[in-house]
Amino acid sequence: MPIVIEKDALIIGGGIAGLWMLNRLRAEGYDVMLLEQNKLGAGQTIASQGMIHGGIKYALSGNLNTASEAIAEMPEHWKNCLAGKGDVDLRGTAVLSEHYYMWPRSSLRSRFNAFLGSKALRGKVTSVAKKNYPAFFQTHIKGPLYELKDIVLDVPSLLACLSKKHRADIKFFDKRKWWSVEKNPAGEFKSLSMEHDNETFTIKAKHLIVSSGEGSKDFLRKLIPDKELPADMQMQLRPLQMTLVKHQHPDPIYVHCVADQLSTTPEVTITTHHCADGSSVWYLGGELAESGAQRSQQEQIKIAQQKISELFPWCDFKKAEWSSFYINRAEALTKNGKRPETASIHQFKNISLCWPSKLTLAPELGQQIVTLFNEKNIKPAAYNNPELSRLSFPGIATPPWDAMP
Residues 207 and 187 reside in one and the same domain: yes
**More confident position, 171 or 105:** 171
Specify whether 252 is located in the same domain as 327. yes
Nearest to 37 by CA among 225, 276, 211, 254: 211
The total domain count for the chain is 2
- The CATH number of whichever domain residue 212 belongs to comes to 3.50.50.60
Residue 404 lies in a domain: no
Domain boundary among 289, 305, 332: 332
- What amino acid occupies position 257? C
Preceding omega of 144 cis (within 30 degrees of 0): yes
Task: Residue 55: give its domain's CATH number.
Answer: 3.30.9
Q: Is 320 left (phi over 0), alpha (psi -120 to 50) or beta?
A: beta
Question: Is residue 324 located within the same domain as residue 340?
Answer: no
In a domain, 405, yes or no: no
> How far is it, in rounded angstroms, from Cα 70 to Cα 148?
16
**One domain for residues 224 and 372:** yes
Q: In this structure, is residue 213 part of a structural domain?
A: yes
The residue with greater pLDDT, 222 or 30, is 30
Please state the φ and ψ torsions of residue 150, each to the nearest 5 degrees.
-90, 155
pTM: 0.93
Q: Are 269 and 284 in contact (CB under 8 A)?
A: yes
In tens, the pLDDT along 101-133 reads 988 866 544 454 545 445 444 556 788 899 999
Q: Which of 314, 332, 350 is the last residue of a domain?
A: 332
Amino acid (1-letter code) at residue 45: T
- Cα angle 290, 99, 131 (rounded to 5 degrees) comes to 115
**Which residues is 148 bridged to in the sheet?**
100, 125
240 in the same domain as 222: no
Q: Looking at the domain assignment, is residue 112 inside a domain? A: yes
Residues 253 and 217 in one domain: no
Q: 281, 311, 332 — which closes off a domain?
A: 332
Range of the structural domain that residue 120 is part of: 51-153+236-332
**Residue 13 falls inside a structural domain:** yes
Mean pLDDT of 88-99: 96
Kindly state whether residues 297 and 190 are assigned to the same domain: no
267 with 316, same domain: the answer is yes
196 domain-assigned: yes
Residue 251 belongs to some domain of the structure: yes
Whether the pLDDT of residue 58 is over 80: the answer is no
pLDDT band for position 264 (50/70/90)?
low
Please give the DSSP secondary-structure letter assigned to residue 402: G
CA distance 248 to 237: 35
Whether residues 65 and 148 fall in one domain: yes
Q: Which residue has the higher pLDDT, 111 or 165?
A: 165
Torsion of CA 335, 336, 342, 347, to 10 degrees: 20
**φ/ψ of residue 310, rounded to 5:** -70, -40
Same domain, 63 and 139: yes
For residues 266 and 323, state if they share a domain.
Answer: yes
What is the DSSP pairing of strand 170-172 with strand 189-196?
Answer: unpaired
Q: Is the residue at 139 inside a domain?
A: yes
Return the percentage of the chain with pLDDT > 90, whole number: 70
Identify which of 180, 207, 188 has the alpha carbon closest to the alpha carbon of residue 354: 207
DSSP-derived secondary structure letter, 11: E
Query: Is 227 buried (19+), middle (13-18) or exposed (0-12) by CB count in 10 A?
Result: exposed
Burial class (CB in 10 A: 0-12, 13-18, 19+), 400: buried
Residues 63 and 115 in one domain: yes
Cα 285 versus chain centre, distance: 13
